């Protein structure tokens, strides 16, 4: 694994030497996030977001485990137990606001992390497995976030669960049976709440496991970089520690600053007022909307308003919604361009910019009233979403003429500083 | 292979969406959605400038206490406040002794069980009790309110968009139904037993106007109890009841943000230092 010039772990203290012989855990850490992992020297701040996602997961697990000590997963008392946490548990309001906003931070950070991968072609060979595991993590996160949102048993919890599990009833024939089986009843109730709690507690640890695989897979080829050009030699890399631990430290500081502003000064900004009303199966809220991070997918679901061919509108919507995420699994093979970084792909870069705007439009439509103007916007935006990945990208990756690539990372770095590789051959490392 | 299948799937989704888009546009032209009375006449609340609003807001305890008096003398006849306990009142400036007295004198008693006969009974409130509900259950509440259910008010300012301002706007919003409304939307005449109030989402609310005249209550602190004053004060109280830890949150937030800003500055310095002889 890794490059031949990677530093080797040499324990100096007798205790560490002893430990290294019996269980080489320090060695593992040294080689994966210590000085033993050589990383391209030119990573920009977009490369902070993977570590930030890991930090967010740790925050979620810590706040979540303590919340679970006070929360009661029973439909009769769940809402009240959340209020008990907010009012009577010492620091309970902090725990709950940190966990709820932590989920938003986590999803936000992962969206940026994915966008980084799209821009710099990190999904391409030789990092396909890193990407595939990433998409698995993303799916697990969505499931976890959805089930977590059900736990406080407010109106949006209940009706969100009703709508989302309702997707399964779109499956022809057996759909309704599957839905009832998943919920443990005809509508969300105690059985559903209990199993959601159980899974919500379990899945973050599954995510942690998949993250280990994700990083393991990453460390075989090593990190990508903003030029997308392979590492050619020792001068192209720096040891992860102290260089990127220091840079990630800056990212972590900024992350917690934004996080704190949300938790302490706008804790309900991203929430929905209806979730402060206890779940009531007899009263449907005027608008059922999911959390912000699901809105683009919700917009895709809602855009299929007419039956087409022999498939009913609802089934189209559900297929498209799942399809919009599952297509990410095929991305490494849909994009056949040998150039990774979009900085050297003039056309792809434009379409990617449009995609980013497109997803923002979908997010807006997902939360907006379904008046004709919004529905039309959502339909056009959904068309572009699928066209982008399934039609435009495969086509453009073959027809596009990339810009000339730098011959090495070092050359690109020096060019940025207005120097050439010849002007300064003795580049420090 | 992957790309051919992708192309087919992509084309199918785009075609289905194109078809739906065509349908949506056609319906929008031939059969546009009619405007609704709610759309035209609903009014959004105006800002009442509570001291607790804003980044470092603090409660005006004097005002919150007046609001509590409004709740006690008016709203508590119909609305419960079940997530708030009498003991919580110490946080708005009442002494432990005052709280004990308030609890004991509360008109509605706590449901309990007669220890001798085992029958349902009531007892006087103590500070550890939550505020008792004015009705035994939902059916009783509906029966007394024209089949509408007065919601619990503990969380009301967080359970409505722009909640603090909304409570004030709702209480001040009662008026006669405008003639244009009945003219333009003949189907939307306020039904019997409901009250026209454009601050309420569907314009017609089952709650009869609770604040009807200036001087309806006599404030302990001597403030003139105009309708508007009472509406503001009870909004302030309900803001506190929904978020009693607001002040400690703001205080802790300020300390945390200052700490993190210093931390960020230091790690940034460390980063500059580590990278000083590296080009990147
Ligand atoms: C729980 C969520 C996740 C965590 C904790 C996580 C963590 C990490 C970390 C620490 C790195 C290395 C640092 C970096 O390059 O930023 C990384 C790299 C990567 N991640 Fe993730 N990740 C998560 C989710 C995802 C998802 C959802 C995707 C894509 C669908 C993804 C795709 C990638 C790719 C392609 C790389 C390699 C990037 C490169 O070397 O340029 N990750 N991840």
Cis peptide upstream of residue A342 (ω within 30 degrees of 0): no
Q: Judge whether B118 lies within some domain.
A: no
Span B57-72, average pLDDT = 97
Give me the pLDDT at residue A420, please: 63
Q: Judge whether B108 lies within some domain.
A: no
- Catalytic residue status for A189: no
Q: Name B85's bridge partners.
A: B130
Of A320, A334, A414, the CB nearest to B2: A334
3-state secondary structure of A340: coil
Neighbours of A198 (CB within 10 A): 12
DSSP letter assigned to residue B195: E
Is B191 found in the same domain as B235?
Answer: yes
Mean pLDDT by 10 residues, chain A (429 residues): 86 93 92 92 96 98 97 96 96 97 98 97 96 98 97 96 91 91 92 96 98 95 95 94 95 98 96 96 92 96 88 91 96 95 96 98 94 94 97 93 93 83 43
Interface of B with A in 125-164 (CB under 8 A): 151, 154-155, 158-161, 163
User: Using CA of residue A255, residue A258, residue A263, residue A268, what is the dihedral sign?
Assistant: negative
Distance (Å, whole) CA B203 – CA B199: 7
Is B8 found in the same domain as B45?
Answer: no
Q: Judge whether B102 lies within some domain.
A: no
Give me the pLDDT at residue B38, please: 86
CA of A10 to the centre of ligand 1 (A): 29
Bridging pattern class, strands B110-113 and A237-239: unpaired
Q: Judge whether B210 lies within some domain.
A: yes
Number of structural domains in chain B = 2
User: Using CA of residue B213, residue B218, residue B219, residue B221, what is the dihedral sign?
Assistant: positive
Which residues of B are less than 8 Å from A260 in CB distance? 253, 256-257, 260
Is B237 found in the same domain as B177?
Answer: yes
Place of tokens 């999803």: A107
B250 at the A interface (CB within 8 A)? Answer: yes
Q: How many CA atoms lie within 13 Å of A37's alpha carbon, on the beta-carbon side?
A: 23
Do A41 and B274 lie within an 8 Å CB cutoff? no
Is B41 found in the same domain as B19?
Answer: no
Distance from CA of A93 to the nearest CA of B (A): 8
Give me the pLDDT at residue A417, please: 82
Q: Which domain holds residue B13?
A: 1-33
Burial B148-177 (b: 16+ CB within 10 A, else e): eebbbbbbbbbbbeebbbbbbbbbbbbeeb
Whole-number Cα distances in Å, A254 to A247, A248, B112, B261: 11, 10, 53, 8
Is B205 found in the same domain as B181?
Answer: yes
Is B164 found in the same domain as B26?
Answer: no
Is B77 found in the same domain as B17?
Answer: no
- Catalytic residue status for A122: no
Is B76 found in the same domain as B11?
Answer: no
Distance (Å, whole) CA B93 – CA B112: 29
Give me the pLDDT at residue A377, please: 96
All domains of chain A in start order, with CATH? 35-423 (1.20.810.10)
Span B24-30, average pLDDT = 91
Q: With contact defined as beta carbons under 8 Å apart, do A412 and A42 qualify?
A: yes
Is B201 found in the same domain as B172?
Answer: yes
Is B157 found in the same domain as B194?
Answer: yes
Q: Judge whether B116 lies within some domain.
A: no
DSSP assignment string, A77-101: THHHHHHHHHHTSTTHHHHHHHHHH
Q: Judge whether B126 lies within some domain.
A: no
pLDDT tens profile B116-172: 999 999 999 999 999 999 999 999 999 999 899 999 999 999 999 999 999 999 999
Q: With contact defined as beta carbons under 8 Å apart, do B103 and B124 qualify?
A: yes
Q: Which residue of A has its CA nearest to B280?
A: A42
Which residues of B are less than 8 Å from A83 in CB distance? 83, 154-155
ipTM over 0.85: yes
Is B79 found in the same domain as B8?
Answer: no
A69 at the B interface (CB within 8 A)? Answer: no
Place of tokens 């973050």: A204
pLDDT tens profile A61-120: 999 999 999 999 999 999 999 999 999 999 999 999 999 999 999 999 999 999 999 999
Interface of A with B in 198-227 (CB under 8 A): none
Q: Judge whether B271 lies within some domain.
A: no
CA of B91 to the centre of ligand 1 (A): 46
Q: Which residue of B has its CA nearest to A97?
A: B249
Whole-number Cα distances in Å, A236 to A42, A46, B280: 8, 19, 10
Give me the pLDDT at residue A428, please: 40
3-state secondary structure of A71: coil
Q: What is the CATH number of the domain that holds B177?
A: 1.10.760.10
Q: Judge whether B200 lies within some domain.
A: yes
Distance (Å, whole) CA A191 – CA B203: 38
Of B88, B158, B257, the CB nearest to A276: B158
Is B4 found in the same domain as B77?
Answer: no
Give me the pLDDT at residue A421, please: 52
DSSP letter assigned to residue A404: P
Whole-number Cα distances in Å, B179 to A54, B35, B44: 61, 17, 20
């Amino acid at each position: 694994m890794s490059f031949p010039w990677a530093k080797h772990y040499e324990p100096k203290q007798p205790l560490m030497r002893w430990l290294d012989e019996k269980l080489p855990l320090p060695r593992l850490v040294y080689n994966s996030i210590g000085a033993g992992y050589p990383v391209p020297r030119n990573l920009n701040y977009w490369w902070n977001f993977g570590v930030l996602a890991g930090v967010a997961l740790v925050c979620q697990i810590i706040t979540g485990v303590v919340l679970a000590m006070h929360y009661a997963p029973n439909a009769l008392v769940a809402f009240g137990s959340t209020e008990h946490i907010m009012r009577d548990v010492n620091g309970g309001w902090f725990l709950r606001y940190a966990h709820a906003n932590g989920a938003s931070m986590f999803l936000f950070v992962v969206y940026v992390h994915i966008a980084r991968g799209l821009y710099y072609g990190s999904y391409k060979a030789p990092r396909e497995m890193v990407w595939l595991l990433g998409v698995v993590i993303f799916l697990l996160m969505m499931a976890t976030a959805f089930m977590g949102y059900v736990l406080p048993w407010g109106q949006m919890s209940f009706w969100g669960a009703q709508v989302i599990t309702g997707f399964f009833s779109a499956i022809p024939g057996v759909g309704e049976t599957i839905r009832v089986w998943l919920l443990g009843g005809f509508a969300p109730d105690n059985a559903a709440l209990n199993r959601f709690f159980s899974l919500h507690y379990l899945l973050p640890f599954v995510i942690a496991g998949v993250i280990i695989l994700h990083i393991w897979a990453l460390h075989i080829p090593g990190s990508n970089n903003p030029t997308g050009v392979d590492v050619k030699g020792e001068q192209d890399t720096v040891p992860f520690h102290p260089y990127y631990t220091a840079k990630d430290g800056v990212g972590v500081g900024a992350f917690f600053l934004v996080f704190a502003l949300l938790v302490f000064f706008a804790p309900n900004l991203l929430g929905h007022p209806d979730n402060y009303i206890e779940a009531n199966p007899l009263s449907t809220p005027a608008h059922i909307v999911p959390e912000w991070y699901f809105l683009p997918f919700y917009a895709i679901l809602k855009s299929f308003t007419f039956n087409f061919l022999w498939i009913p509108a609802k089934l189209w919507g559900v297929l498209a919604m799942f399809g919009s995420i599952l297509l990410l699994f095929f991305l490494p093979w849909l994009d056949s361009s040998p150039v990774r970084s979009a900085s050297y792909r003039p056309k792809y870069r434009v379409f990617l910019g449009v995609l980013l705007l497109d997803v923002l439009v979908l997010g807006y439509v997902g939360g907006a009233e379904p008046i004709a103007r919004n529905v039309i916007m959502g339909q056009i935006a959904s068309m572009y979403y699928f066209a982008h990945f399934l039609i435009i990208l495969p086509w453009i990756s073959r027809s596009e003429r990339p810009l000339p690539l730098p011959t090495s990372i070092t050359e690109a770095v020096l060019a940025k500083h207005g120097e050439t590789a010849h002007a300064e051959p003795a580049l420090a490392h | 292979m992957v790309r051919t299948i992708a192309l087919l799937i992509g084309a199918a989704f785009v075609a289905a969406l194109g078809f739906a888009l065509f349908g949506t546009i056609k319906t929008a032209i031939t059969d546009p959605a009619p405007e609704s009375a709610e759309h035209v006449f609903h009014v959004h609340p105006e800002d009442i400038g509570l001291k607790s609003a804003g980044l470092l807001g603090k409660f005006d305890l004097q005002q919150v206490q007046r609001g509590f008096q409004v709740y006690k003398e008016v709203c508590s006849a119909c609305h419960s406040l079940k997530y708030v306990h009498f003991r919580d009142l110490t946080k708005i400036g009442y002494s432990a002794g005052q709280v004990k007295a308030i609890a004991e004198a509360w008109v509605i008693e706590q449901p309990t069980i007669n220890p001798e006969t085992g029958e349902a009974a009531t007892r006087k409130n103590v500070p550890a009790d939550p505020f008792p509900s004015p009705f035994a259950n939902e059916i009783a509440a509906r029966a007394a309110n024209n089949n509408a259910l007065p919601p619990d008010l503990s969380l009301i300012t967080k359970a409505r968009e722009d909640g603090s301002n909304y409570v004030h706007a709702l209480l001040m919003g009662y008026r006669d139904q405008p003639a244009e409304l009945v003219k333009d939307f003949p189907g939307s005449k306020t039904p019997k037993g409901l009250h026209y109030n454009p601050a309420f989402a569907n314009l017609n609310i089952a709650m009869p106007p609770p604040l009807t005249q200036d001087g309806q209550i006599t404030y302990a602190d001597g403030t003139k109890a105009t309708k508007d004053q009472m509406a503001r004060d009870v909004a302030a109280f309900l803001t506190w009841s929904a978020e009693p830890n607001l002040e400690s949150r703001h205080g802790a937030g300020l300390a945390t943000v200052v700490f993190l800003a210093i931390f960020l500055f230091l790690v940034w310095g460390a980063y500059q230092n580590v990278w000083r002889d590296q080009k990147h």
